[in-house]
A and B are shown apart, each in its own frame.
Chain A
Amino acid sequence: MNCIIIDDEALARAIIRNHCVKADELEVLEEFSNAIAAIKYLNQNTVDLIFLDIHMPDFTGFDFIQTLKNPPKIVLTTSDRNFAIEAFEYDCIVDYLVKPVGLPRFLKAVQKAEQFKPITAKTAEPTAKTSDAEGNDLYVNIDRRLIKINFDSILIIEAKGDYILIKTEGKNYTVHSTLKKIEDKLPESKFLKIHRSYVINFHKIIDIEDNSVLIAKDVIPISRSNRPILMKRLNLL
C-alpha cells in the first residue's frame, strides 16, 4: 500500500512517517501541511491510504473528504479523545487515531486498512440536485412582464429578504422570489450556491481568495459548509 500524510503539525507528521517505516509494505508518497496542496496532488495521483488530521485551519479533514470524488481509504488523526461520531458517516473512513499515536495502535489501523472493503460503492458525493432547467434562458416576472434572462449573462444572484437580486452583465433585476426557487431553475453545470444568500455563475469567477470569490466587481463570501462543494468543482492545477 502507498499513503500520504496530511497534518498541519510537523510533529504529528513525523510520528506517522516514522511509524509507516515500521509497517511492512506501506510507502509514504508525500506529506502535506495543508489540505489544498493535498487536493492538487490527488488530482494527478492515486493513493491507497490517507492519514488525515481532522482539525486543520480553514479546511477541516471532513471538508477535505467532501472534495474527493472517489476517496481512498482514510485513517483520521485527532487530538480529541472524545472523538465525534461524524467520522463514521463516511464509508471511506477505516479508523481514527488519537494523538500522540503509539506504534501498536498505528499498526492495528494499518491492518484494518489492508482488510478494509467499503460496505457500499457510495462515495462522499453529496446528493445530486435535480434541476429542471431547460434551454438557455430564464423568464422572470417584473411589473407583469416576463423578461428573458440568458443564463450565461447572469453573474450572481443574491437573496434580499422576500426578493432576489439577479445581477447580469448588462443589468440588475429585483424579483419577488427565493434563492431556493431560482436555484431549482438554474443549470447545475453553471451555477453554484456558495453562501446562504448567494448563488454564483461558476464560469464567471475571476479569482478565489481565502473565504471569498471575485465575480466582476463583487466580492462574494463563501460559507464554510459550501466551500468543499466549490473546491470540488475547481479544476485545480
Chain B
Amino acid sequence: MINNRYTETVESIHAPESTVKAALDSIHNHEKKEKTIRMVSLRKAAIAAALAAVITLGAVLGINAFGTKSTPLFNITVNAAETTEKKFTPIGNLDVSGATYSPDRANGQLCLQEEFAAVIRVDGDGITDVAFGGEGYTLLARKEDDVQSGNGTYYLNIGITANSADSALPEAVRQAVRDCYDYINTKLGEPLLQPGFNAGTFDWSTSAKLIYDTLFSNLKITVNVSFDNGQTAVKTLVFTCDSVDSNGTVSISAKLQ
C-alpha cells in the first residue's frame, strides 16, 4: 500500500463486527442446508481485519465440498474445431476486427488494443445458460444463436491489450509494441514514436509473435454452463499463437485447461 493521506484514511475504514458476523452466519446457514462442513475457526481479530479474505477462505472451502455429484458433460468447439484437454487444437487464423494504438508521444509509450472475433459453440444435454468469464481479455460483444435447442453458438468479440507503459510486461514485448506501431507509421508516412526506428531492418513476424505469445499466455476464457437439473459446470479455454506470417496473418490454437 502506498502511504499517503488517502490510503491511511481507507485503512481506517472497517466493516462493523456485527456485519462481518452476519455475513459469516449467512454462509454457515447456507452450507448447513446442503451439507455439514467443518469450518476453519477464525479469531475475532482476523475477522475484523480483512472481510474479503475471511469470506474467501470460508466460502471457497464450502464450495469445493459440494463437488460430490457427477459433473454434467458438454463440449466446446472454437471456430468449428473441437477442443480437448490433451493438446492444443489449431483453430484457424485470428479473426482480427480491428486494432487501436493510443500513443503518449511525450513519454514514448503507447497502448495497443486489439479486437478479434471467436465463434464458440457449446454442446450438451439440458443446457439452460452459458456465461463467459476468465481473465486477460475484455468481452466486447456477444451474439447468441441457436440457443433454443439447448446448445449455443456464441460469437464473441474479444479485446486484448498491450501497454508499453505497463512494467508488468517484459521490456522486449513493450518494445515490440512500439516497433510495430512505428512500422505502420513508416508505411503510412505518419510521424514516428521513436525517431531512430528503421523499418528496413524490422521483422514484423518476430515482433508480432512476441506480443501475441504474451497476450495469449494471459488469456483464459471460462465457459460456465447451467443445466436444467440445477447443476453447473465450467471449463476453461486457453490459447497459444502458433505463428505470424510475413503478411501478419496469425495462426492460433486452443485447448481446455
Asked if A pairs with B, the answer is no
Residues of B at the A interface (CB closer than 8 Å) are none
